[in-house]
Amino acid sequence: SQTIHQWPATLVQPVGSPLSLECTVEGTSNPNLYWYRQAAGRGLQLLFYSVGIGQISSEVPQNLSASRPQDRQFILSSKKLLLSDSGFYLCAWRYGGASTDTQYFGPGTRLTVL
Amino acid sequence: GNSVTQMEGPVTLSEEAFLTINCTYTATGYPSLFWYVQYPGEGLQLLLKATKADDKGSNKGFEATYRKETTSFHLEKGSVQVSDSAVYFCALSDRGTSYDKVIFGPGTSLSVIP
């Protein structure tokens, strides 16, 4: 069966510090991968998606970036965090190709920028 | 473009009450439709889905029917429990793109009181 991991679960960082959030998927190969952000009491905002190693598409220009160094690893980064980067970050995966369109979500990372 | 509209709530119900959360969508093609649930502090879980008109998705006592004529996918449950307290997201999958972007509604917060 497939599982998706995210870490850390919670993170408190000062403004201006760097960020690295990691997401890994097990039990499948060549998945589509996604990063979402959920601000407090708000809906989901798609930040980045990837259909393969080294292939990253950005939905929202901002001070965040994403990388996919391995097939089942997706990393969200920032060089300098802003207060507005606080939120709940969710990673999701989907089977590659057009066989199914269901996305499966990880447990999330709660980021607080002070 | 494609979009999802749902009642934002919060919705407060007594245990064993009937639940309806309205969801309507706008899409140019024939999307798949989803309901996801998010329990406090957790990621999103797929609750049910429907892939074509008149399909009924069901799970854990929840049901939703894909109504193409009214572009709706309302979520219903006959008797809610305290454990159903969560945020519910209606979503659609924009098939026809290589990454199948999922568009989420704003979410509806449900509180069930004993």
Q: Report pLDDT digits (tens) over B88-100.
A: 999 998 766 656 6
Determine, for residues A106 and B102 on separate chains, whether the beta-carbon distance falls below 8 Å: no
Give the pLDDT confidence score for residue A99 in this predicted structure: 63
User: What does the pLDDT average to over A25-30?
Assistant: 93
Binned at pLDDT 50, 70 and 90, residue B10 comes out as: very high
For an interface test with B, which of A74, A103, A109, A112 has the most B Cβ atoms less than 10 Å from its Cβ?
Answer: A103
CA distance B79 to A79: 49
pLDDT in tens, B15-58: 999 999 999 999 887 889 999 999 988 899 999 999 999 999 99
- Structure-token pair, residue B33: 């439709």
Q: Where would I find the beta strands (DSSP E) of A39-99?
A: 44-52, 55-58, 64-70, 73-78, 87-94
Determine, for residues A49 and B101 on separate chains, whether the beta-carbon distance falls below 8 Å: yes
Give the pLDDT confidence score for residue A26 in this predicted structure: 95
Determine, for residues A32 and B99 on separate chains, whether the beta-carbon distance falls below 8 Å: yes
- Structure-token pair, residue A44: 């989901």
Strand, coil or helix: B84: helix
Give the pLDDT confidence score for residue B71 in this predicted structure: 95
pLDDT in tens, A38-54: 987 778 889 999 999 99
- Structure-token pair, residue A12: 């408190």
For an interface test with B, which of A10, A44, A48 has the most B Cβ atoms less than 10 Å from its Cβ?
Answer: A44
User: What does the pLDDT average to over A14-39?
Assistant: 94
In order of A51, A101, B87, B96, the CA distances from A97 in angstroms are 9, 9, 29, 11
Q: How much is the mean pLDDT over chain B?
A: 92
